[in-house]
Amino acid sequence: MKAIVCRSYGPTSQLRLEDIEKPIPKPNEVLVKVRFSAVNDYDWGMVRGKPNLYRLLFGLLKPKHPIPGMELSGVVEACGVGVKNFSGGDEVYGDISRYGFGSFAEYVCINEKALVKKPKNIPFEDAAALSHAANLAWQGLVDVGGIKKGMKILINGAGGGVGTIGLQIAKTYACEVTGVDTGEKLATMKTLGFDHIIDYKKEDFTKSDTQYDLILDAKTTRAPRAYVKVLSKGGKYVTVGGTIGRLLQLLPAGKLLKRPVYIVALDANKDLFAIEKLYMEEKIKPEIDGPYPLEKTPWAIQHFGEGKHTGKVIVSVQ
């Protein structure tokens, strides 16, 4: 089979499309023929081995998992001993990161618990774009953020996968939503229906007099105190991603600042049934950047890492 392989840490240009042996499912694993995958922060960090702290997770000297990729949609081709929930021919999707990686490949073997069955009327392309970002957005806004009807919400990093889905979730609660990002993403954000758009290169929202009931942060680029200044009384700050240094600053921030500050610890695939329901009702649809062919995965990861993408960056494997 063909796969994108990372043999050592370095620039995305060192990734190679290689012919490697097709895997065989172990007990409780399914062999999935991958249709689509998606680029995430994990891939950007894993390929470069940066920041260095990530190497404690990825491998000290070289990647423990040489094939990147943590989201997929595809079809079950074979099942290992003990598999209970799937059979050959089942259409599946999911965020597989809790059990392994390797979705930038024509086939992947993964524990059956890493996947859910894909509804027939969700295209493979959309399914691959939903599993990680939509769960982060839902858990940040609903599970942790406690979103309520009519709230004033700000999404930082609003032009990416989490932000574009987060907007659509918030609109089901009739919220007023401000999006923060820059570049070509701003035009798409306007089309998607953000009520207010801030170009962070021209305006710092943390120095504004406007206050928000809930801030969903996909970037976490500022110190916690800056965010608290623009929270309304009783407002919440929730982060779903960002630089490791800023995230570590947030851990003691809630008590020190006496304001609700939360970091979402993603529960992979937990809310996919709620997401599917919204999709069926045509209330959400992922904004897709791509799809790009498998051989362009190194470029797609670089494109993502430089923040030039809009929505989810999708790779077509088959």
Q: How many domains does the chain have?
A: 2
Residue 84: burial class (beta carbons within 10 Å; 0-12, 13-18, 19+): exposed
- Clarify whether residues 258 and 294 are in a common domain: no
> What global pTM score does this model have?
0.93
Helices (H), 85-215: 124-130, 133-138, 161-171, 185-192
Q: Is residue 170 part of a domain?
A: yes
Instruction: Provide the CATH number for the domain around residue 158.
Output: 3.40.50.720
Plot region of 307 (φ>0 → left; ψ -120 to 50 → alpha; else → beta): left
- Clarify whether residues 247 and 304 are in a common domain: no
- Clarify whether residues 65 and 13 are in a common domain: yes
pLDDT tens profile 275-303: 999 999 999 999 999 999 999 999 999 99
Domain boundaries, position 66: 2-132+285-316
Which backbone phi and psi does 29 adopt, to 5 degrees? -105, 155
pLDDT tens profile 5-38: 999 999 999 999 999 999 999 999 999 999 999 9
- Clarify whether residues 259 and 143 are in a common domain: yes
- Clarify whether residues 301 and 193 are in a common domain: no
- Clarify whether residues 232 and 206 are in a common domain: yes
Q: Is residue 115 part of a domain?
A: yes
Q: Is residue 271 part of a domain?
A: no
Q: Is the pLDDT of residue 164 over 80?
A: yes
Q: Is residue 296 part of a domain?
A: yes
Which residue is it, tokens 């709230």?
151
Q: Is residue 278 part of a domain?
A: no
**Cα torsion for 5, 11, 12, 16, to the nearest 10°?**
-30
